[in-house]
Structure 1
Amino acid sequence: MIVALSIRSFVLIDRLDLEVGQGFTALTGETGAGKSIILDALGLVLGGPANRRFVRHDEDQASVTAEFALQAGHAVWDELEELDVGASREETLTLRRTLSRNGPSRAFINDQPVSAATLETVGEKLVEIHGQHSASGLMRPSTHRGLLDAFSGIDVELQNCRASWVALAEAREHRQNLEAAVRNATERKDWLLFAVSELEKLAPEPGEASTLLAQRAVLMQAERLTEAIQEMDSAISTRTIEETLSKAARAAERLIRIEGLEALDEGLAKQAHAASDAIERVLIELTEAQSLSNGLKIHDLHDAAALERIEARLLALRGAARKFEAEPDMLAETLETCREALSLCEAETGALDEARAREQAALKAWDMAADTLSVARRSGAHRLERAIMKELKPLHLGRVKVAVRFDPIGEGESGANGKERAEFEVETNPGSGFGSLRQIASGGELARFSLALKCALAHAGVAQTLIFDEADQGVGGAVAAAIGERLQRLSKDRQVFAITHSPQVASSAHRQWRVRKQEVGKSGLVTAVHQLDDGQRLEEIARMLSGSSITDEARAAASKLLEAA
């Protein structure tokens, strides 16, 4: 329901902030006070047409903001998820619309920019406006079947029909796909035979190409390893190095044995010993290096023949991949696919017969479920017709007759919701024949007819806020009282607003707002809305009864109306 409404610079409204409660609220005031302006503002924030004339004459921009408190299970939350609009089910939902005098209008949901169409899609799930020129979704035949089903309480039958339709659609798609596969396989039979023969000769394994590439990488590394070992071994095994070092070692030995070397030069003797030791160490290290080099030879992993075999296999796999338009690793899967396609050619009749039998069984199941739904739906239609007729007579529409017309769904249309469409029709005068609801030309009659429909369809529809614009037009007395009683009844589980000139309707409301024009400084005339307390409400209803001059008799009559409500 609406919990707050803010209007800025909209026609005659300068600044208006309203906190809204549950139940039934009546909006009253003299003709021309601006009650319809509030309705226009609501229409704008709910995604209605934007007109620059809505912008107040001395301002550049108008805005309307409506805040809603909704249950976590309300259908609008799912709609917002589908529209990818961020919103929390634990918080309120805010709709806002701005309109510039020289620019486009802008729409927001929870301060996120959206299109006017998105705002309208969301808005129609929140508020229904039943006016003299429209009756919200009730005037759209596309909504009638859903309203009828909700009234009829046929959820089980509807779910069975939808489930059987899904099963039928799946069976039909399987049969169609199989037929297409068989046709395709038959047309390609010669090629399939060739492909299977070639691939069976090749006998590819799943992922074989990747495995071979990994093995080739190892073998190529092994080849480089062997080359390095051989080069190192060749270098350190050269006799020249060993002979040269041995010759140097013998020379160093003769040097340190010269008599009187230390007496001749103590430093020279030390260096000679050090040189001899160093040469000895080099000879030892060279021997160890040669030994280690010989040890490395046992790690020679190079296998030229194996590498050649792998290269040849990879070449064959890549050639087949190009020929059969597949990845080398997927050739085994391609072979299996070709075998399966070929099997369709060889076992065509059996597979198709089975698929067709499944489809026929699913069609029979849907047909039975749809027929059961149709029976329940038509039974509900008779009850709805009687319920609406019962509501019409007290509303001074006793000559109007209502019927639910069923039209079969054409070939190719979805049967998830059964075999028929439903549309509410009326006969406004005896013998004139039934036709669309739109033939109810009178604005007041249209609003009262909408009220009758909503009363009969009390639990159908998702909108929790209902607005009725002068449903009492052209009637009074008992009919107006009947309108007030029905609006009050609807407000037990919904939020209801009624723009009214009838004291009987106003007295039935839980609260009353008075709309009037007033002078405000340089701004000139503005529309203001005031919630009335008990005393003010008595005076307002007395005014509605007697006109501008309020008499004691009018006050007494107003008091009786309020007490009776």
Structure 2
Amino acid sequence: MLAHLSLKQFAVVSAAELSFGPGLTVISGETGAGKSLLVDALGLLSGLRADSGVVRHGADRAELVADFTLDDAPLAAAWLRDNELDETGDGEAAICQIRRVIRADGGSRAWINGRPVTLSQLGELAGRLVEIHGQHEQQALMSRASQLGLLDAYGRHDAPLAVVEAAAQQWSALLRERDTLSAQGDVSDRIAWLEHQHAELEREVLEAEALAKLLSDHRRHAHAAGLIAACESAFARLGGDEGPSLTRLVQQVRGELQRVAEHEPRLNDVDAMLDNAAIQIDEALTLLDRVRDDLDLDPSAFEQIENKIGRLHELARKHRVAPEQLPAARDGMAGELELLRSAGDRLQVLDGEIQSARAQWRRAADTLGEARRKAAKNLSETTSALIGELGMGGGRFDVALEPLDEDRPDPQGGERVEFLVAANPGQPARPLRKVASGGELSRISLAIEVAAFGLDAVATMVFDEVDSGIGGAVAEIVGQKLRALGASRQVLCVTHLAQVAAQGHAHYRVSKAASEGVTQSAVQVLGAKQREEELARMLGGIELNKEVRAAAKRLLADVV
């Protein structure tokens, strides 16, 4: 529920602080005073794009802040928790604050609970906190897509609609696969080319380990002469061919130290180290001898290795990949060959799978269609009763379902919706989008809203002059409907009708005045006496005589 709204330097409002409670809160004021600015502010806090025109003239920026309680908004609380934007971090925050600053240059920034967010995130959260319905929503009802969405929302068809969408996606994927295979035509030339290229790669050992060994062998053969010379020199110097051997020298040193070690115990540690050194030298000599025996100056073997490396580089250039990527190229060809060879068989299998997917979609669409027919009947009856109460006695509202062509999968189901209206008895029902009367359209739209809204988990609903084009007793009924809606939801309503305003549990008045040549708007919560005066103004205009004030007083007294 919206608890508090703060506006600073917003349009013609210098500063305003508004607190809201449950039930129906009405907002009234003279034409041009800025009644709808409160709705505009909530729209901007819901993620709508803004321009510099919303910043009060002469100010650097406009600032909007809204505080919502979350006790009646579990979906919003869950969203905050999932996005780690809840106030306390434990998912138990009682208040959610949304703040947005719009600069005079048109830029803006937004925060949720003090943390920067994107406009998309604002929209996601606001969609779980507040619904805004104004005169432009009446135009949205003209769209058949919007009508279908409203019917599905009214009937709570999320689950069957998701099944239809999944079935349509599966059917579409199979159709695309069949189209792709069919478009290939005769692939015999492609198969022959792939078989030749694949066989050429198969003849080579391409794995990473084999390539690494080949390069290692190439380096060893390329440097064989130097390796042999280095091994022979090291063996001669270590083994004593060129002077005393290291092993004999080490043993001589050990003998000398052992004769005096009894006088210095630490020399025993030195002796042990030299013993280990002698063992390591012997092992090194053994390994040197083995390495030397393995080395061979074999020009023919070196040539074979070079030829292998040359072939690999040639294949890599041919397939436009690095040598180490040749195995992937080979495997890719193998996969394509398998697909092409089995394309005919796959086409035959696909026909059966497509028929199965179509039947699955049809079953899901039939289930959704049955649910839509029940919801359409209920919405038609409820809305027809409401438009009768709203001064269109004998009028009729129908939700017509029209079947679609089943040749292609449709994620929205097997039918489309058309809202039909007969404004008077005996008249044929016509599409709502062709209803010409603005007053009739307002009443029909409000009837649909009253019938369809309040079914979801959004706790706050905002109505911006949805009562335009009506008056008298009908206006009083509209007010009663909005007040009844306020029994289960927080309702904010911008109105110019006293009969609607009288039904509010709370009443704000927006007024404007010129100060130093600049127009400013102010918002004031009205007490009981002030409400009488405001209703009298709404009823009688400039001249407020006793009769008008008495009528205003009766309006308030008649509220149940």
Counterparts of 2:394 and 2:512, CA distance in 1: 39
Q: Is 2:106 aligned against 1:104?
A: yes
**Is the contact made by 1:481 and 1:504 (CA closer than 8 Å) also made in structure 2?**
yes
Counterparts of 2:49 and 2:166, CA distance in 1: 39
1:456-481 deviation digits (Å, cap 9, x = unpaired) = 11345676433223444565554233
1:405-436 deviation digits (Å, cap 9, x = unpaired) = 55666799761221333343444466476234
Choose from 166, 170, 175 the match for 1:172. 175
Sequence identity, in percent? 30
SS at the partner of 1:488? helix
Counterparts of 2:207 and 2:513, CA distance in 1: 89
Deviates more, 1:145-154 or 1:531-540: 531-540
Counterparts of 1:511 and 1:289, CA distance in 2: 97
Unaligned runs of 5+ residues in structure 1 are 243-286
Residue equivalent to 1:448: 443
Equivalence map 1:242-391=2 (5 Å): 295=286, 297-300=288-291, 302-304=294-296, 310-344=305-339, 346-391=341-386
**Is the contact made by 1:50 and 1:99 (CA closer than 8 Å) also made in structure 2?**
no
Equivalence map 1:94-173=2 (5 Å): 94-96=98-100, 98=102, 100=104, 103-104=105-106, 106=108, 108-110=110-112, 112=116, 127-132=130-135, 134-135=137-138, 137-173=140-176
Q: Is 2:535 aligned against 1:532?
A: no
Q: Is 2:482 aligned against 1:487?
A: yes
SS at the partner of 1:415? coil
Residue equivalent to 2:256: none
Residue equivalent to 2:387: 392
Choose from 186, 208, 211 the match for 1:209. 211
Amino acid at match of 1:189: I
Residue equivalent to 2:17: 17
SS at the partner of 2:110? strand
The Cα of 1:28 is off from its aligned counterpart by 3.1
Unaligned runs of 5+ residues in structure 2 are 245-277
Counterparts of 1:94 and 1:539, CA distance in 2: 34
Counterparts of 1:394 and 1:358, CA distance in 2: 53
**Is the contact made by 2:397 and 2:421 (CA closer than 8 Å) also made in structure 1?**
yes
Amino acid at match of 1:190: A
**Is the contact made by 1:46 and 1:119 (CA closer than 8 Å) also made in structure 2?**
yes
Structure 2 length normalisation: TM-score?
0.73
381 and 427 in structure 1: CA distance in 2 versus 1, 3 angstrom threshold: same
The Cα of 1:65 is off from its aligned counterpart by 3.9
**Is the contact made by 1:171 and 1:358 (CA closer than 8 Å) also made in structure 2?**
yes
Residue equivalent to 1:557: 554
1:345-386 deviation digits (Å, cap 9, x = unpaired) = 554432321233222211221123223323332332232222
Counterparts of 1:76 and 1:290, CA distance in 2: 72
Amino acid at match of 1:195: Q
Counterparts of 1:412 and 1:56, CA distance in 2: 56
Counterparts of 1:289 and 1:433, CA distance in 2: 105
The Cα of 1:392 is off from its aligned counterpart by 0.8
**Is the contact made by 2:8 and 2:14 (CA closer than 8 Å) also made in structure 1?**
yes
Matched residue count: 509
SS at the partner of 2:410? coil
The Cα of 1:452 is off from its aligned counterpart by 0.9
Counterparts of 2:69 and 2:460, CA distance in 1: 11
**Is the contact made by 1:543 and 1:549 (CA closer than 8 Å) also made in structure 2?**
no
Residue equivalent to 2:194: 192
The structure with the larger Rg is 1
Residue equivalent to 2:495: 500
346 and 50 in structure 1: CA distance in 2 versus 1, 3 angstrom threshold: closer
The Cα of 1:482 is off from its aligned counterpart by 1.8
1:190-248 deviation digits (Å, cap 9, x = unpaired) = 21232243334435556531343355567778875543231245568898968xxxxxx
Counterparts of 1:437 and 1:410, CA distance in 2: 23
**Is the contact made by 2:503 and 2:556 (CA closer than 8 Å) also made in structure 1?**
no
Amino acid at match of 1:561: D
**Is the contact made by 1:206 and 1:333 (CA closer than 8 Å) also made in structure 2?**
no
145 and 237 in structure 1: CA distance in 2 versus 1, 3 angstrom threshold: closer
